[in-house]
Chain A
Amino acid sequence: MNILEVKNLTKKFGGLMATRDVSMNVEKNSITAVIGPNGAGKTTFFNMITAVYRPTSGDILLNGKSLVGLKPHQVCHFGISRTFQNIRLFNEQTVIENVLVGMHQRLKGHWIGTLLHFPEVTREEEAAKVEAYKILQYVGLEEFVNESAGNLPYGAQRRLEIGRAIAAKPKILLLDEPAAGMNPKETRQLTDLIHDMRHRLDVTIILIEHDMKLVMKISDYLYVLDHGELIAEGKPDEIRNNQRVIEAYLGKEATQRG
C-alpha cells in the first residue's frame, strides 16, 4: 500500500527548475531514499512535501488526501515530520524542551488550563516530560537533558532533531542528510536507529543521504534526482548498476576516489 504518492511535482524558482515532473510512490513502512548530486532538488522536494514551499504544479497525496495548500504545521498534524539538512534546533532551549516542542500538537492542554491549574493539564505536562525523557533515552541523549540544544556536539544535534521529529508520532519521517558530518561510528549508530525506528515506531522513512554505504544498506527503494529530474528509481541493486546513475552520480564519485 502506498502511503505517499507524489504526482508530477514541479518547482520553479524564477527561471530555475528546482524539480521537474517528479513522481514517486512510497510504500507504507518502507525506507525510501532520495539521492542525487548537490543541487539536484532533493531538499526542495522535502520542502514541498512539508509545505515550506508550494509546488508550482503537481500534487502530493498522503493516504489519498492532497497536502498541497496546507500550512506547514498542518502537514505535521497530518503525520509528516522532518529533520533539516542545515540543523534547525531551538538553540536557546534545553534538549528536553526541544523534544517537548516536538510533542506540541499531541498535547491538548490549553494555556487557560495552565493558568487555572487544571489538574489534567498538570498531569499531561508531567507525562509529557517522562515521555520526552524516554525519547531522549531512545536516541541516546539522556545525559544532555538539561543542556542548551545549541551547546551539543554536532552528531548529538542531528540525533536531537530526530528525537524532536519522532516526538510528534509521525506516520512519515523525512530525514535530510542525517549522517552529514558524522564520524563512522556515529553513522553506524544512526543506521541502526533508522532501522529500529521503522519497526518500533511503525513509521515510513524517506531519507536524503550522500553516504552510499548507508543508503544501500538500509533502503528498500531509491529515487535518483539530477538537475531536478528523476533519472532512475529502483531497488538498491538496480540503482547500483544503472548506467545513468553511475554517470550522473556514482560515476563522479568513483572518478574522484580513483
Chain B
Amino acid sequence: MIKNAFHKFADSTKAQIIFFAAYVLITAFGLFLLSDSVIAFLVLLLSILILYYLKLNVRIKWALGLLIIAVLVPFAASQGSSYQSFMDVGTLVLIYVAMALGLNIVVGFAGLLDLGFIAFFAVGAYTYGIFGSTQANKFMPFGHFPVPGDAFWLFIPIGAIIAAVFGILLGIPVLRVRGDYLAIVTLGFGEIIRIVFNNMDHPINITNGSMGIPSIEPPSFFGIPIGQPSQFYYIALVIFMLAIYVATRLEHSKLGRAWKAVRDNEIAAQASGIPLVKTKLAAFAIGASFSGMMGSVFAAKQMYIDASSFTYLESTIVLVMVILGGMGSIPGVILGAAVVIILNNQVLTSLSTWLTQLSASGVVSVPDALSPAKMQRFIFGILLVVFALYRTKGLIPYKNKKVDAAHLKAEAAVKTSQYEEHPEAEGTH
C-alpha cells in the first residue's frame, strides 16, 4: 500500500514538484522566522539532497538547485544576526566542496592516494596573499603592491595555473612510486610546502615566515569593495559551479576513462595506448587547480594567512570528505564535504555552546575537555571506521553512466563498418 503510493509518487513529475516546492517554501519560511536557528538552516539545506533523489529532468534539477543555493538560502538566512555566520559556513562548504572535487579527480578517478593535497590550496592562498598585500614589495624589484582589489579576479586563474604547475612538479618525481609509497611521498610534499612557507622569511622575505601575511587587500568589483561573507559566498559559488562543470564533463570523456583505466589496471591501460605519466600528471594538475582557485578566495576572505592553516590535518579532512561521500562519485563528494564542514562548524560548535550553557546553569556538568568542538578528530575517526566497515562506497556510491543501448543499436545498424555480426556469436546467450 505504502510502496504503491511511493511508486505513484516517483512516477509523477507533478507530485514531486509540488512536494518539493512545499518542502522548500516551508523550510525557507521557517528559517526566515527562526532566523538564528541552525536546525532551520540545515533543514533547508537538506532540500538539495532531496532534490538529488527526485526523479526529475536533470536540467530542471540543476536549475532548481542553483535557485535554492544562490537565491533562497541567502535570502531566508538574511533576517537574523547569524546571517553572516551562516554565509561564512556556506562559503566554507563551497570552498571545501571544490577542493574535494579536485582531490576526487586524483584519488577517486585516477586512484592516486594523495595525503598532501592541502599544499595546492596553500599555493593559491599564498599567491594572492603575497601580491594582494605589501608583502611582495619586500622582494620584488619592481612594481607596487598590494595589487588593487579589482585585480583579485585575475588571481583566480593565476592561482589555478600556479597550483597546476605545483601539481606537475609534485607529480614528476612522485609518479615513480605507487600505492602506499605514493601516499607517504605526497604526505611529505604537503609538509614540505607548509614548512617552506613557514620559513621563507630569510634570506629573502617572500612569505613573511611564521608571522604570516596580514592586511590582504579585499577584492573589489568595479571599485565596490567586497568584504562580507555574504559576498564571498557568491565568488565561491561561481568557482564551485566551475569545478562541478569541469569534473562532470571530464568524468565521462576520453581523459576520464583514461584516469579510471589507470586506476583499475595500469598495465592494461598502457597496453591500450594510454600514456601513464601524462594521464597521471593531468589528474594532479587539474585536481590541484581547483584548490588553487579556492586558495585565492580563502586568502582574500580571511585577509590574513599563515602556514598553520595548511596542516596535515586539513589534507586529511579533504580526504575524509571524499571517502565519506564516495570515492569517484561527484554527488557523493559534494555531500561528504558539506556534511563534514557543517558538522564541524555548525553542529559541533552549537552543541558545545549549548552544553556550556547547561553547565553554567548547573543542569549538567560537562568537563571542558569533552566539549564536542574539541572532539572533531575523534568524531571523524569514528566516522571513518564506521564507513570503512559498513559503507565502503560512501554516502552516495559511484554509479557507472549507462549508454542508451537501443539508440546505439539503431545507429550501429545504419552505419556500415568493417565489423559485421559474427555468424557464430549471434544468439549465443
Contact = CB atoms under 8 A, between A and B. Distances in A.
B418 A96 contact: no
Interface string B246-275: 100110011101101101110111111111
A140 B429 CA distance: 9
Given A90-B261, A111-B250, A111-B254, A135 B425 contact: no
A142 interface: yes
A196 B422 contact: yes
Contact of A142 (B255, B401, B409): B409
Contacts of B257: 93, 97, 100-101, 104
A130 B282 contact: no
A200 B420 contact: yes
B276 to A, nearest CB: 7
A90 B418 contact: no
Contact of B250 (A115, A146, A148): A115
A94 to B, nearest CB: 5
B271 A50 contact: yes
Interface string A102-146: 101101010100110000000001000111011101111011011
A133 B412 contact: yes
Interface string A71-94: 111011100011010001111111
Contact of A102 (B272, B401, B420): B272
Contacts of A165: 272
A94 B402 CA distance: 8
A188 interface: yes
Interface in B89-115: none
A189 B424 CA distance: 6
B267 to A, nearest CB: 6
Question: Which interface class (under 10, 10 to 19, 20 to 34, 35 or more) fits B?
Answer: 35 or more
Given A93-B260, A138-B425, A73 B276 contact: yes
Contact of B273 (A104, A109, A125, A140): A104
A164 interface: yes
B180 interface: no
A133 B421 CA distance: 11
A4 interface: no
Given A130-B412, A137-B412, A84 B421 contact: no
Nearest to A132: B408
Interface residues of A, number: 56
B4 interface: no
Interface string A6-32: 000000000000000000000000000
Contact of B255 (A81, A89, A97, A114): A114
A82 B264 CA distance: 17
A201 B268 contact: no
B415 A130 contact: yes
B419 A138 contact: yes
Contact of B260 (A90, A188, A193): A90
B419 A146 contact: no
A242 B26 CA distance: 87
A188 B424 CA distance: 9
Contact of A72 (B270, B403, B429): B270
A217 to B, nearest CB: 14
A52 interface: yes
A121 B181 CA distance: 37
A97 B400 contact: yes
A195 B249 CA distance: 40
Given A96-B403, A104-B258, A89 B265 contact: yes
B422 A130 contact: no
A192 interface: yes
Contact of A146 (B274, B275, B400, B420): B400
Interface string A149-187: 000000000000000110010000000000000000000
A107 B249 contact: no
Nearest to B111: A92
Nearest to A196: B422
Interface of A: 50, 52, 71-73, 75-77, 81-82, 84, 88-94, 96-97, 100-102, 104-105, 107, 109, 111, 114-115, 125, 129-131, 133-135, 137-140, 142-143, 145-146, 148, 164-165, 168, 188-189, 192-193, 196, 200-201
Given A72-B267, A115-B246, 7 more contacts: A73-B274, A84-B267, A101-B272, A111-B250, A114-B255, A115-B250, A200-B419
- The 6 A-B residue pairs with the shortest CB-CB distance, nearest first, are A140-B425, A105-B273, A76-B273, A72-B270, A88-B268, A138-B419
10 contacts: A72-B270, A90-B261, A93-B400, A111-B250, A114-B249, A114-B250, A134-B415, A140-B429, A164-B272, A193-B424
